């Protein structure tokens, strides 16, 4: 009995640790836009003129489906919200938000706790190319621009300006050290198994009671018959 008790205790401890590890780890199922489309995450977009035009004019099937089903479904106001509100919704969980990450990470650093920063994931959405500067063909300024931009890059001035205006992704320095709230949706399978188990156990209990009563009645009837046979024999 002692060995059985210790085995069950170790099994329960390892199972609980596995559940906690799964809850504190970020989901590994969403890697592409198609995964995002078929997930139960809500979706919103930073409210800018460019985003409103790009998302409504998207022709690629997956991006178009995301706009029609998650951003602007029929009969619903399109989900274009401010960047600050979008970051706060990400913090609450089960929410995806399209934004300029260089600016958005400033709000992430402002509102997110250290442990919450570890669960962030990025999925590229916009299909754009890097901007170019146009000059007149055979212009004498072409070589000047070319040398000037290269010198800006070599001297680090461009990187300096990018660091001033755009924030990098916050570092994850405290993974797994915070509590995670679990909703009823996450516990639904376990509660469903528990409910079915209780129903089955009650059903088996009723059957056992009926069988026990039946056996008692049979025993009483057999005892009466024995007594009657004994009296007749006497």
Q: Who contacts 31 (Cβ-Cβ below 8 Å, separation ≥6)? A: 123
Are residue 42 and residue 109 in the same domain, yes or no?
A: yes
CA atoms of 78 and 68, how far apart (whole Å): 9
What is the model's pLDDT at position 63? 92
pLDDT digit string, tens, across residues 47-73? 999 899 989 888 899 999 999 999 999
For the stretch 1-37, pLDDT in tens is: 567 666 666 666 666 656 655 555 555 678 889 988 8
Q: Pairing relation of β-strands 95-98 and 42-46?
A: parallel
Q: Which CA distances in Å does 231 have to 58, 75, 223, 227?
A: 98, 88, 12, 6
Of 140, 155, 178, the one marking the end of a domain is 178
What CATH number did the domain enclosing 38 receive?
3.40.190.10
Question: Does the CA dihedral 106-97-119-163 come out positive or negative?
Answer: negative
Q: Which long-range contacts (CB under 8 A, 24 or more apart) does 125-131 make?
A: 125/33, 125/63, 125/98, 126/54, 127/60
My answer on whether 107 and 45 are in the same domain is yes
The number of folded domains in the chain is 2
Rounded to the nearest integer, the mean pLDDT of the chain is: 81
Domain range for 47 = 26-131+170-178
- Within-domain flag for 104: yes
The model's confidence at residue 40, banded by pLDDT at 50, 70 and 90, is confident
Cβ(4)–Cβ(96) below 8 Å: no
pTM score, whole prediction:
0.57
Quick check: is 150 in a domain? no
């Amino acid at each position: 009995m002692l060995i059985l008790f210790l085995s069950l205790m170790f099994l329960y401890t390892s199972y609980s640790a596995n559940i906690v590890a799964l809850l504190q780890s970020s989901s590994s199922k969403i890697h592409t836009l198609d995964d995002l489309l078929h997930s139960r995450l809500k979706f919103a977009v930073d409210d800018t003129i460019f985003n409103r035009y790009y998302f409504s004019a998207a022709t690629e099937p997956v991006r178009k489906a995301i706009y029609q089903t998650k951003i602007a479904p029929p009969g619903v106001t399109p989900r274009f919200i401010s960047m600050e509100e979008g970051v706060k919704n990400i913090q609450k969980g089960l929410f995806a938000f399209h934004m300029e990450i260089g600016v958005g990470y400033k709000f992430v650093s402002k509102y997110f706790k250290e442990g919450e920063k570890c669960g962030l994931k990025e999925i590229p959405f916009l299909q754009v190319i890097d901007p170019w500067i146009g000059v007149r063909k055979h212009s004498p300024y072409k070589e000047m621009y070319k040398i000037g931009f290269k010198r800006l890059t070599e001297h680090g001035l461009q990187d300096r300006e990018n660091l001033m205006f755009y924030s990098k992704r916050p570092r994850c320095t405290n993974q797994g050290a915070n509590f995670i709230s679990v909703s009823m949706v996450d516990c639904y399978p376990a509660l469903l198994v528990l409910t079915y188990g209780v129903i089955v156990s009650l059903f088996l209990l009723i059957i056992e009671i009926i069988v026990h009563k039946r056996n008692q009645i049979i025993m009483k009837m057999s005892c009466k018959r024995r007594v009657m046979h004994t009296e007749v024999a006497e």
